[in-house]
Structure 1
Amino acid sequence: MAAERMVVIGGDAAGMSAASRARRLRGPEELEIVAFERGRFSSFSACGIPYWVGGEVGARDDLIARSPEEHRERGIDLRMRTEVTELDVAGGRVRVVERDGGTGQSAGGRDDGGRWVGYDHLVLATGARPVRPPLPGIDAEGVHGVQTLDDGEALITALESAEDRPGAGAPGEPGKREGRRRAVVVGAGYIGVEMAEAFVNRGYQVTVVDKGEQPMSTLDADMGELVYEAMCEMGIETVRGATVTEILTDEHGRARGVATEDAEYPADVVVLGLGVRPETELARAAGLPLGESGGLLTDLAMRVRGQENIWAGGDCAEVLNLVSGRTQHVPLGTHANKHGQIIGSNIGGDYATFPGVVGTAVSKVCDLEIARTGLLERQATAVGLRFVSVVIESTTRAGYYPGTKPMRVKMIAERRSGRLLGLQIVGRENAGKRVDIAAVALHTGLTVEQMTALDLGYAPPFSPVWDPVLVAARKASAALRAA
């Protein structure tokens, strides 16, 4: 009997996790695995790019978990610089085109538009694409994204070239022209604030321009205000409620700043941090089901709804939020790797499911840590939940212990049931990862009253006697009783 063929579109977290898991369960004589990646790198950490740009990560290859050669050594036929341009769902095949430097030869007939490759199992792991609005000057030299290793490499090369020019200040030192070199970051979400930190670390004067009233729209406005205040204290000019209307260019066509309706902000480099959208144009053209955000809809086994042999995972898929009961787009590498493991298990003959997420995320800008899990107030309102919100001020360690830092915790609980709905934390060192306490509570459906009895670790170097999350739970419980 001929081996079945598993075709994977996308050579990063979800796709290669699926391929690797399926290969562990089924040998080459049973399952041929062919993966197509249109870029130059496989299995890399996009989340690490800001820290590579900022200098905390020393080299590009530190961000690569497994090279194409390593995947091939493990029995996965990974074709780099090879793009899938069309899905033929009825025919069980995909059309592929080799770009410059493409690797490998696939089975299937050729025509002028590439060649068709058949599949028994198809895995869609096409990831997400950065939001890049059609603004004047958006494609100018000096405007950068940070989605791929190619993006990071291009940005670092540009920065190093500019910093080496006569008259430029050394990283971390004032420049010899009008002061330090200037960077403008468009967008104040996760990527935006992380890139702001990267430029601060390189000694740049940084301006962040965002259309929101507060940075970090993944927080409630009162918590986002703390982020704004902290960024200003760090010397990061943070412009709120401002929509970029144009990338300004010089006589050579190079970016020299950004313009909003009310002002102009000069820049030596412009970075776009406006978020991402699911990369699902292939799926849309093939008539596969998409959700409100444009992500592919799957069942619990990560099989595309209505399809027996097509699977989807990672940033191109929507997932169920276990708190709201609705699907949403959550582009995180943690979920992508889990999706891949589940897909690979099911294709490999095992069985696994992905129940959903609670919306946990953590980030930082310089020494400020930012974390959230569950629902924000507006999200709880949107799904018809009645709730109470409480805010507490605390510290990361016992108040008398050296090095203790402030933190603010906001907790949201459902009125009728008392169950935890969400938690947000903004604080200094050792504040952010406390969000994991609430993430577990959300997964297990704990009430805030039940949370007050959690047996958490305590010693003065790590926490006050009452951990800040438990203090918030006590206050939420009291608010529910008074409601």
Structure 2
Amino acid sequence: MGHEGRKRLVVVGGDAAGMSAASQARRLSGPDELEIVAFERGHFTSYSACGIPYWVGGDVDGRDALIARTAEEHRARAIDLRLRTEVTELDLDGQRVRARDLESGEEYWTGYDRLVLATGARPVRPPLSGIDAPGVHGVQTLDDGQALLDALEEHPGRRAVVVGAGYIGVEMAEALLKRGYEVTVLDLAEEPMSTLDPDMGRLVREAMNGMGITTVGGARVTEILTGGDGRARAVVAGGTEYPADVVVLGLGVAPETSLARAAGLPTGAHGGLLTDLSMRVRGREDVWAGGDCVEVLDLVSGRERHIPLGTHANKQGQVIGANVAGGYGTFPGVVGTAVSKVCSLEIARTGLRERDAQGVGLRFVAVRIESTSRSGYYPGAAPMTVKMLAERGTGRLLGVQIVGREGAAKRVDVAAVALTAGMTVEQITALDLGYAPPFSPVWDPVQIAARRAVKAVRDAD
């Protein structure tokens, strides 16, 4: 489909996975060998969506700080990046895509030799009355973040309602609190952060309440009420009205695979595209996919999962770029590591929760310990709770959750490495971790939990 002997790579989606793939392919192939065309329907490319709550909260100075590489920088590297252009149809047999210029309305077909799908994920927006009213905001893209900031400037208020208490929900609760709003978080689950077990989520709820954030669990939102000006004025959940000058949706995301499904490409139980380890879409020689639109192998459970994170998207993009340029790379899978914070509380998890382990039929023990981030006598030592799951019989580590203050979240990385390596909790107790009083107690909190887990495994047999 390229001309003059060149091959053409077409990339659909211009954020982390798509532009990582395009950039890596360009590094490995000169413009004379590979023509690269990338389509992005938004105004921005290669940006950190994860940074939006910190931009809204004022920790990050301005939108441009979140853009890793501008459209101009990509174009300077011989990548034909077309912003505000949406791909509307894939013709896999004809090796071409149909695109629409969102400014002019013009539609046209572009042929390809190799296709990369990096269409991302879309925010979950239940079909509730009032959900599309002015004053109701998602925070998926830089455009969303800008729209929210503009609204906060043009329609200042004092009451904010956040719907959903996952990562985005708790981070946006903090951002709005910092801007002086009274914040209420409504969530269907009884405890916030359902990526944690409820006993660890309770610690998050108690800390949020202590910061002045109102949390309401078991709250099914049924309607968003609007005022005479048409703007959102309250959220209704469980028959109760929660007044709101601004509403932020944090209900999670689903893989954006409508184009791929319409073209007959295979999707999994979570709606994400299915690929092999080289990120090639199963059953297609000339199509790759990565980022929030794919499902990935969970190395602990052996099942496919949908985990929309920029870390995975960037790595998958690198692998795709190497493969489309004639090299070879693989993305072996994930263990499900994620960290977050709400004000001074740090939240971390990796591996399986209790219900995940039960769901795949694993027999396990679960232990929970309380420790400190530094030696107890050293100034600044802060409390930390570590929960650990281990397989009965074998003692294999299955999962770790950590909630605490400064120094808590990144401790999960030790557990992520141990999970990837298939280590037992007994092996973790013997790890040679760094120690000095300013950094940890003599026994690191993760190792204290491992010692407790070793005993629980022995007692269970």
TM superposition score normalised by structure 1: 0.94
For residues 213 and 418 of structure 1, the distance between their equivalents in structure 2, rounded to whole angstroms, comes to 31
For residues 152 and 380 of structure 2, the distance between their equivalents in structure 1, rounded to whole angstroms, comes to 35
Q: Could you report, residue by residue, the CA deviation over 1:142-201 in whole angstroms, capped at 9, with x for unpaired residues?
A: 1011001111111111112233xxxx6xxxxxxxxxxxx010000000000000000111
For residues 149 and 41 of structure 2, the distance between their equivalents in structure 1, rounded to whole angstroms, comes to 22
Residue identity in the other structure for 1:117:
T
1:318 maps to 2:295: yes
For residues 188 and 39 of structure 1, the distance between their equivalents in structure 2, rounded to whole angstroms, comes to 27
Partner of 1:359: 336
Residues 418-429 of structure 1 mapped to structure 2, 5 A cutoff:
418-429=395-406
- The match for 1:74 among 77, 87, 91 is 77
Residue identity in the other structure for 1:466:
W
Q: Could you report, residue by residue, the CA deviation over 1:102-146 in whole angstroms, capped at 9, with x for unpaired residues?
A: 9xxxxxxxxxx8211111000000000000111000111110110
For residues 229 and 456 of structure 2, the distance between their equivalents in structure 1, rounded to whole angstroms, comes to 61
| 1:402 positional shift | 1.0
Partner of 1:439: 416
Report if aligned partners of 1:458, 1:464 keep a CA contact under 8 Å in 2. Answer: yes
1:448 maps to 2:451: no
Partner of 1:6: 9
Percent identity (aligned): 74
1:151 maps to 2:144: yes
Residues 214-253 of structure 1 mapped to structure 2, 5 A cutoff:
214-253=191-230
- The match for 1:136 among 129, 132, 138 is 129
Partner of 2:190: 213
Residue identity in the other structure for 2:406:
E
1:124 maps to 2:117: yes
Report if aligned partners of 1:188, 1:215 keep a CA contact under 8 Å in 2. Answer: yes
- The match for 2:66 among 56, 63, 66 is 63
Residue identity in the other structure for 2:271:
G
Residue identity in the other structure for 1:472:
A
Partner of 1:267: 244
1:17 maps to 2:10: no
For residues 66 and 73 of structure 2, the distance between their equivalents in structure 1, rounded to whole angstroms, comes to 15
For residues 101 and 408 of structure 1, the distance between their equivalents in structure 2, rounded to whole angstroms, comes to 55
For residues 85 and 153 of structure 2, the distance between their equivalents in structure 1, rounded to whole angstroms, comes to 31
For residues 239 and 207 of structure 2, the distance between their equivalents in structure 1, rounded to whole angstroms, comes to 24
Q: Could you report, residue by residue, the CA deviation over 1:87-107 in whole angstroms, capped at 9, with x for unpaired residues?
A: 1111111111111169xxxxx
- The match for 1:34 among 34, 37, 54 is 37
| 1:326 positional shift | 0.4
Residue identity in the other structure for 1:93:
R
Find the residue that maps to 2:366 and give its secondary structure. Answer: strand
1:94 maps to 2:97: yes
Find the residue that maps to 1:369 and give its secondary structure. Answer: strand
Unaligned 5+ runs, structure 1 = 103-112, 169-180
Partner of 1:174: none
For residues 34 and 258 of structure 1, the distance between their equivalents in structure 2, rounded to whole angstroms, comes to 43
Residues 169-208 of structure 1 mapped to structure 2, 5 A cutoff:
181-208=158-185
Residue identity in the other structure for 2:332:
P
- The match for 2:87 among 84, 89, 94 is 84
For residues 254 and 155 of structure 2, the distance between their equivalents in structure 1, rounded to whole angstroms, comes to 31
For residues 148 and 132 of structure 1, the distance between their equivalents in structure 2, rounded to whole angstroms, comes to 15
For residues 313 and 104 of structure 2, the distance between their equivalents in structure 1, rounded to whole angstroms, comes to 27
Partner of 2:309: 332
Residue identity in the other structure for 1:132:
R
Partner of 2:439: 462
Report if aligned partners of 1:43, 1:67 keep a CA contact under 8 Å in 2. Answer: yes
Residues 380-391 of structure 1 mapped to structure 2, 5 A cutoff:
380-391=357-368
- The match for 1:407 among 384, 388, 394 is 384
Find the residue that maps to 2:155 and give its secondary structure. Answer: helix
Report if aligned partners of 1:53, 1:156 keep a CA contact under 8 Å in 2. Answer: yes
| 1:416 positional shift | 2.0
For residues 81 and 196 of structure 1, the distance between their equivalents in structure 2, rounded to whole angstroms, comes to 30
Partner of 1:379: 356
Q: Could you report, residue by residue, the CA deviation over 1:202-255 in whole angstroms, capped at 9, with x for unpaired residues?
A: 111000000001100000010001011111111100000011101111011111
Unaligned 5+ runs, structure 2 = none
For residues 190 and 137 of structure 2, the distance between their equivalents in structure 1, rounded to whole angstroms, comes to 24
TM superposition score normalised by structure 2: 0.98
For residues 439 and 262 of structure 1, the distance between their equivalents in structure 2, rounded to whole angstroms, comes to 42
Report if aligned partners of 1:25, 1:345 keep a CA contact under 8 Å in 2. Answer: yes
For residues 170 and 89 of structure 2, the distance between their equivalents in structure 1, rounded to whole angstroms, comes to 36
- Count of aligned pairs between the two proteins: 457
Residue identity in the other structure for 2:68:
A
Find the residue that maps to 1:214 and give its secondary structure. Answer: coil
Query: Quick check: 58-67 or 153-162, which moved more?
Result: 153-162
Residue identity in the other structure for 1:122:
L
Residue identity in the other structure for 1:439:
A
For residues 347 and 98 of structure 1, the distance between their equivalents in structure 2, rounded to whole angstroms, comes to 26
Residue identity in the other structure for 2:93:
A
1:288 maps to 2:261: no
CA RMSD of aligned residues (A): 0.9
1:396 maps to 2:373: yes
For residues 339 and 432 of structure 2, the distance between their equivalents in structure 1, rounded to whole angstroms, comes to 23
Residue identity in the other structure for 2:306:
H
Q: CA, structure 1 residues 284+373, in 2 after alignment: closer, same or farther (shift >3 Å)?
A: same
Partner of 1:46: 49
Report if aligned partners of 1:227, 1:426 keep a CA contact under 8 Å in 2. Answer: yes
Find the residue that maps to 1:315 and give its secondary structure. Answer: coil
Q: Could you report, residue by residue, the CA deviation over 1:436-483 in whole angstroms, capped at 9, with x for unpaired residues?
A: 000000011110000001011111111001000000000000111111
Report if aligned partners of 1:143, 1:269 keep a CA contact under 8 Å in 2. Answer: yes
